[in-house]
Structure 1
């Protein structure tokens, strides 16, 4: 990374604690992921393939185009690619419901992307960043490699997910009772970490914020619009089009933020991208859902 790029102050102990918190967040998420969420994938193959292409190909591709064509700093570029490589955010399910989209598809896509984030997030990040030579060289300078990132994500993502899904399958009544409080606690914990990190580095964040918010808005908006029309061109039902657009643009930026702190030295531009995306996708997702909710929903095609 370039020497002029500042870093957020975050101790090793805080990073370790944050990874523990991430594991807890994944535990709480998986309590609501059931086997049928994956079996649903088999009955909606075209819609699922469209959604997965939107998440894993379309948004990263849009991001690479933005990073390549516009005067974006290396930190901002890496932050955008990191967020676009993360799994879908759970709030997307609510947005799909509000938009009168395909909620079952939304839940299935969120569950699938969360389940396989331990391998797909690093794989996507390294692949798409390699398409921009300057960003790829920055990643090498940071001494971050695919297997190191994947092995650690196995511990903080996959292991908690599998454990939690086993508990939900074996003792569904307990899982149902615990799921909502655990989710609320995990959101509070993550929010506290983000607030503390930002308060401790307020001056750096203020100095760099004006260079970042507009590029996040542009990338997120392009991803949402392109995903909607991509699904429409493939002749999916309108409810599917809405869900694909939402699932493509609403990503788990909290995970991206934690990975940035853990593997990228708290690079301030990367962290700001993840933080601003986490705020803006709530605005854009709810705005898109509200707009679509008031539009007629055609009968599903046969």
Structure 2
């Protein structure tokens, strides 16, 4: 069995183009649930928003970097973990926050702001932490990744569809109301289908190497949720907000990571296996956490039992 750093997973170029389109459609669906009010809402809860954004873009990559050193992860696995940590959240975080009885308004706003910021911050963040890693940096430099080129790719599959979705939501509210839910579920279904396709097409590699990454992914995912929760708690946010921040930081868009891995890293083994396993485990862990939280009311939640006259 070849070392995980030496394998390259195969993905048909035509399928990769379709996956880019699907991911762009997914971002369009996220934007259909976004309004200008979501960005203006930041002004009414700047502290909670600031804590959540900092936890995602500053604390989580640093925690991930430390975890890769602690686990002595192989270079390609370390790069995969860092890339996933730098990805923005997906709109499934809003669904899970609602299930967890957390602050959905904060969750939606964080998703919108985080995806907008990730266009610039994601490639810079990844390049910084990957270049700093003692064992993964040589592999990262050998790939000769251009952060500007990655940023351009992210603009194409995140930025443009996101802006178009917001414009559609603001200017065509009736059309948006009809297509929002079908678009969200269809795009999510297609993304899961393509992740399954990537796994099925490289099933032998996943079977050979999943044991190497499963513990890392489980620990990493748990730390991501915990990072959001502890940052929110340390900053004095109430439980209602802590649940939203924890889920926003814990849920990463591994589908985007998989697209970038096949587009810029040639399907590098450890990276692709990490992103593929994360894409499934993250949803399972998030659903379990949200269901557990949903059993009891959140401290600081608005009282919905009162009825108006």
TM-score of the superposed pair, with normalisation by structure 1: 0.93
CA 205–127 in structure 1, closer or farther in 2 if over 3 Å, else same: same
**Contact between 2:199 and 2:276, CA under 8 Å: does it hold in 1?**
no
Q: Per-residue displacement from partner, 1:112-161 (whole Å, max 9, x unpaired)?
A: 11223221221211122122133222222112111110112212211111
Q: Per-residue displacement from partner, 1:22-54 (whole Å, max 9, x unpaired)?
A: 222222221221111111111101100111111
More displaced stretch, 274-283 vs 292-301: 292-301
SS of residue matched to 2:11? coil
Instruction: Give the aligned length.
Output: 300
- Segments of structure 2 that go 5 or more residues without pairing to the other structure are 303-309
CA 206–300 in structure 1, closer or farther in 2 if over 3 Å, else same: closer
1:179-198 pair list within 5 angstroms: 179-198=180-199
Shift of 1:71: 2.0
SS of residue matched to 1:116? helix
Structure-2 residue corresponding to 1:64:
65
The CA distance in 2 between the partners of 1:37 and 1:3, in whole Å, is 42
**Contact between 2:4 and 2:209, CA under 8 Å: does it hold in 1?**
no
CA 32–67 in structure 1, closer or farther in 2 if over 3 Å, else same: same
Coordinate RMSD, CA, aligned: 1.9
1:131-280 pair list within 5 angstroms: 131-280=132-281
TM-score of the superposed pair, with normalisation by structure 2: 0.91
SS of residue matched to 1:211? helix
Q: Per-residue displacement from partner, 1:222-270 (whole Å, max 9, x unpaired)?
A: 2212321221121111111111111111111111111111111112221
- Segments of structure 1 that go 5 or more residues without pairing to the other structure are none
The CA distance in 1 between the partners of 2:157 and 2:89, in whole Å, is 17
Structure-1 residue corresponding to 2:44:
43
SS of residue matched to 1:210? helix
CA 147–71 in structure 1, closer or farther in 2 if over 3 Å, else same: same
CA 289–24 in structure 1, closer or farther in 2 if over 3 Å, else same: closer
CA 183–296 in structure 1, closer or farther in 2 if over 3 Å, else same: closer
Are positions 1:125 and 2:126 aligned together?
yes
CA 94–189 in structure 1, closer or farther in 2 if over 3 Å, else same: closer
The CA distance in 2 between the partners of 1:136 and 1:90, in whole Å, is 32
